[in-house]
Amino acid sequence: MDDLYITGETIDINAAVLGDLVAAGGTITINDSINQDLVVSGGNITIKGYVADDIRAAGGTLTIDSEVGDDVIIFGGKVIITKNAIIHGDLISFSGKIEMNGEIKGKIRAYAGQLQINGKTDGEAILKGGEIKLNGEIRGKSQLAAKNIEIGENAKFYQDVQYWSEDNKVDFKNSLIDVKANYNEALGEESKGFFHKGFGLGTLIFLTICILSAFLIILILNLLFRELFSRAAVQLNESIPKSLGIGFLYLIGLPILILLAFIIIIGIPIGFLLLFLYLFSLFFGHLIAALLLTHYLNRRKAVSWNFWSIVFIALLIAIILHLLILIPILGFLLSILIMALSYGALISSFLPGKSSIQINN
């Protein structure tokens, strides 16, 4: 009946969400309607249900096979807009490969290694990439820039076209409907600047996916467990050595407990549960540590950050921690130390004693 925040390895949405849907996971399939915005990040994302407002998505493979009420902004390895898809706003895509077979009511801006446009666009089209294959209709003005541009037999341009290709040889066939196609050298310079400077498109997409995924996970953790992190921050402030000791006991002792559970036949279900918990804590350990450190600084400095300030500061700390952990040997030791300290403080917040009293913001 309201907004839904969800994360998991596999997520299936088979019922209507009457608010926003914010999701992060490995494989995400949306089969029913979303009445407001969809913000999603994952490895393989398929959208089959109606989305009433905007879509913001990042992932490995993204497929849109439905109607979207407003804009779509996508970062992905491969993006597929099926022939059943209707996007009533704009489509903006940064991807390795995009295949657009549906209908865009607004404008399309696509930057990719390979672009294949077979559908229809009512607004302007700005297409830049390594290779463009165009076999659809564009009713607005067009800018095409790629090393190679191929125009199909079914292509139609209803307003003037500006283009650039590496060899300046583009056969527009019968696609120009009482309009002109003009070669524009400046488009080539812009495209080279986009693809060859800095990190490059592939790295940009990868970093964007990682940062967006981290943001969603931190957002969900802070939304669901804000009081827990606040209590753990108090515990960390009172005794860092105690938190560190309990954390090392958790990291070393829990695998032994899991092994014993698997040895005892009746303990196998518990073993699987503990194993999932342990793997989750290792995989998301740096994000959990970043969020806990943010709450710790919030209380230590008595600055009273609001919900969104905590989320964005935690994201910044998570990025810094990730960069530090990349340092050989020292990074590994730092990673173990950070996770031990974080989980020790979280576990300590449940132990009896004066520090276990709930603290309300």
Q: Which residues contact 301 (CB under 8 A, 6 or more apart)?
A: none
pLDDT for 190? 62
Tell me phi and psi for residue 234, to 5 degrees.
-65, -45
Quote the DSSP letter at residue 354. G
39 beta partners: 22, 56
Q: State the pTM of this model.
A: 0.60
Q: What is the pLDDT of residue 191?
A: 59
Q: What pLDDT, on the 0 to 100 scale, is given for residue 86?
A: 96
pLDDT at res. 77: 81
Edge-to-edge strand ranges of the sheet holding 103-104: 67-68, 86-87, 103-104, 120-121, 137-138, 156-157
**pLDDT score, position 199:** 41
- Please compute, for residue 337, the number of CA atoms within 13 A of its CA located in the half-sphere on the CB side: 11
- Whole-angstrom CA distances from 330 to 249, 291, 326, 327 are 21, 22, 9, 6
pLDDT for the residue numbered 203: 52
Share of the chain above pLDDT 70, in %: 89
Structure tokens at 287: 């994000």
- Give the residue with greater pLDDT, 304 vs 145: 145
| pLDDT tens digit sequence for 110-161 | 988 889 999 999 999 999 888 999 999 999 999 999 889 999 999 999 999 9
Q: What is the mean pLDDT of the chain?
A: 84
> How would you label 203-228 residue by residue, b for 16+ Cβ within 10 Å and e otherwise?
ebbbeebebbbbbbbbbbbbeeeeeb
Tokens for 32? 């029913």
Radius of gyration of the chain (CA): 25
